[in-house]
Amino acid sequence: LPMSDIDKRNAAEAALKLVEPDMILGLGTGSTAAIFVRLLAERVKAGLKIVGTPTSEATDKLARSLGVRIVAPDELERIDLTIDGADEFDPALNLIKGGGAALLREKIIAEASDRMVVIADAGKEVKSLGAFPLPIEVNAFGSELTRRRIHHHIAGLGLESAPSSWRMATGESLLHTDGGHLILDLSCGVISDPKALGEALDEIPGVVEHGLFIGYAEQVIVGEVDGAPQRPVGHGVEA
């Protein structure tokens, strides 16, 4: 592995210790989550019995190709544990997710999980969220109107001048998520009140979902080159 991935692998290996036989696992999306899926597949080959449910088409394809048994979310009532990455996390374990354009499916799986544990490298840790642009999943119908509504709704939160841009796929075309939606990346700078911003975005019908994950992560495992210390956890939960 390149040096930059050793810390991700260490985080993924530490998360693997939380997996118990017969668990239903939510499988995240992104480079760190993919490392976890590969390590999990090695354990499955060695006899570990689990089933996974994916947060994206990419994760579904990867897990199946490695021999991990996959079940569709529609077949489940709940999920034991979800392991996923994050683009940023703060001291209260609020997250920004959606860099991989899978935020809606990631949030559906996280919400249905008894526990969500985030694996990340130290570069994802911030004092306050917002340096990473906030991904907002937007319905394609009236998307420019929705964009203007977003700016109208967030003006009162001190984000009047936050620029936004539609995420592009390769070339000149707009990126579409697995569900056929667009991604608007909102450059907030600092999000002083993540909860208020999340609530403001939830009020807008064209916003399908946003990348603020507040109160979802029970634990963040930060991979470092020489291991993976677990960070103190929000919500009064001991790590």
Whole-number Å distance between alpha carbons of 194 and 11:
26
Are the C-beta atoms of residues 135 and 88 closer than 8 Å to each other?
A: no
**Closest to 12 (Cα-Cα) out of 24, 20, 27, 23:** 27
Whole-number Å distance between alpha carbons of 231 and 91:
9
Among 20, 75, 77, 106, which one carries the catalytic annotation?
Answer: 106
Exposed (0-12), middle (13-18) or buried (19+): which is 181, by Cβ within 10 Å? Answer: buried
Whole-number Å distance between alpha carbons of 149 and 201:
9
The residue whose two tokens read 């703060």 is: 90
106 is catalytic: yes
Are the C-beta atoms of residues 79 and 51 closer than 8 Å to each other?
A: no
171 Rama class: left (phi>0) / alpha (psi -120 to 50) / beta:
left
Q: Is 29 helix (H, G, I), strand (E, B) or coil?
A: coil
Cβ atoms within 10 A of the Cβ of 235, count?
A: 11
Catalytic residue IDs: 106
